[in-house]
Structure 1
Amino acid sequence: MELKFVKRDVLKEKPTDETKLGFGRIFTDYMLMMKRDGERGWYSAQIEPYGDLQLSPAALVLHYAQEVFEGMKAYKTDDGRVLMFRPWDNIKRLATSAERICMAPFDQEFVLNSLYELIKMEKDWIPTSPGTSLYIRPTYIGVDPFVGVQPAKEYLLYVILSPVGAYYASGLSPVQIYVESKYVRAVKGGTGHHKTGGNYAASLLAGEKAHEKGYDQVLWLDGKENKYVEEVGSMNIFFKIKGELVTPMLAGSILPGITRASIIELAKDMGIPVTERRISMEEIYEASLDGSLEEVFGSGTAAVVSPVGELIWEDKHIIVNGGKMGETTQKLYDTLTGIQYGRIPDKFGWTVEVK
């Protein structure tokens, strides 16, 4: 399949004040669009002007949520190069998520190379202020105009780009986490370990209630016993206990985060012991009482690392490191972002220069 280009008549005006970018509200001139139907297979791929989609009101995605997506970033280095961080892993995870909800396979190498072409074209949209980046949202949806529960035959796979500001506009401050004991996010055998929109819709109610109570995020527990930690909102979670990093193991209901995997490899390289296992809130609470709970942080594409200053579980307030970010959390954040922005040599082979 050939990648075509459709030129925009008039280019948008790019943001001039990068302190006001926010997150996910401004979009670039172009997007990548691929189409598929049951007879021709994948028959169209082009970089075209960013614009609204035309869908039938009966499109399957609107009724039965046959949709998967990814989140990734492009970074501008101090010397003007454009870097991406493990993009092949995002495309692979997109394909795995699509397979889980019975969507047609796509050529991962073609999609990745087409994405590189889009980034090259839109590189002037990548902001350069500290902490800023170009957020990349690949999305794959079923669009058959048919109201009936069945896998789609017609699909759109598209990628949009958004220049975004620093996730922590006022600095890397620890957040307050509400441990959800009533609702569950996912169960083993479901779709919790894939990046599909329904998972996030199911999390909204608990998130709103947590915000109403003054908390920043929700920590989800397992769907069977409601006692073992799973993940935080859109992030994976890590606990430092007696010098060891502990994170919930991947057992079919937790998203296999790419930042999570990077944190694990990076920590081991630093000589920090890492264990992936089940960990209960009772164990975390007891560790906070005896002083062995040293640090807590989340990991994900948007924030990279998000320090946790307090956990609220069944009216118990678990204060972490005096409510301050820990030394290990800071070191992991500085090192990982240093690699992403090209300030630290990448000995892991995680970054790729788009040129």
Structure 2
Amino acid sequence: MKKKSPTIQDVADRAGLSKAAVSRYLNKSIRLPEETGQKIDDAVRALGYRRNSIARRLSKGGSETIGLVVPEISNTFFSEMAEAVEQTVSERGYNLILGISRNHPDKELGFLRWIDDSIVDGLLFVTNRPDNRRLQLDIRRYRAVVLLDEDIPGTTQDKVFCHNIEGARDATRYLIRTGHRRIFHVTGPSSLMSVKERLEGFRLAHQEAALPCPDTHIFHHDYTQQFGREVARKILSSPILPDAIFAASDYIAIGMLEELRRNGVRVPEDMSVIGFDDTSLAELVTPKLTTVRQDAAELGRIGADRLLDAIAHPEVRHGVTRIAASLVVRDSVRDRRLSTRDIRPPTALSPSPEPPPKNQS
């Protein structure tokens, strides 16, 4: 049978003191004579007593813990965000627990119960899926929730997003300025705020340049590498190919780079590609990815500050905060104005031929 853990009453009995005195001494809310304090310290060591920090915090009116809910942690954007959140809340005396939803509606709703159960004092919340109003209606019950990166329409909590429209417009302007005229846009679910705003920026840049922007040049699905691979195959099967592709996520862009390379399409010589987010992977792929940077760490830091403010001062609201989105130029876009040398016509691209078989001895 497992040995029962010692309690604070056991410590009090061994030290010959009241439970209240021992509790206040251990919580550093009372100063006792040195000899009395030594009795308590000796009893703690002899019994191997460990304080229940969660119970102690709850007795003070809060858990001194916040939660961060993200769709996944393998995505470096969310891991960079989580690291910044942990550092920020730690500096202010709080702990962090992480919830990974995998974009599952029931898991997201379940994490909100952490507040009801006093596991956390508040939540930083990231979702990457369209809401059927279940999440909206539930999340509106909580003041101490801050939304990061993606909106949940109909909610009034504090929110921290990047300037999606400006970032997408700058990326598209850059492609147009470097001589690209047939630009495709590959993006996420059409009902997401980030998708709508990045598409708006894409269209605005076309309008400014008096270029057509047909719906047939826009592809929606998920913010995943797999979608990037799938849509690249679809685009390559079209009779007319783009000069460039603006992907609304680095993960989509990286999936496309893989599939384009596999089919013998050279980036940027044959086709330029731009991403969005500037994750740590953007510099590791070949070619290094030109992309729009939204600072995941800054999102996390500002979001954590907003949430801790909401916990300490429920009457204060910050509304929507936007962080910068800036173009980071690397190697995946070619300036088509400089030379047409070594650029294949858009309709001439085809998979590289299979190498001839080796001679059999």
| TM-score normalised by length of structure 2 | 0.28
Structure having the higher helix fraction is 2
Specify the structure having the higher radius of gyration (Cα): 2
Structure having the higher strand fraction is 1
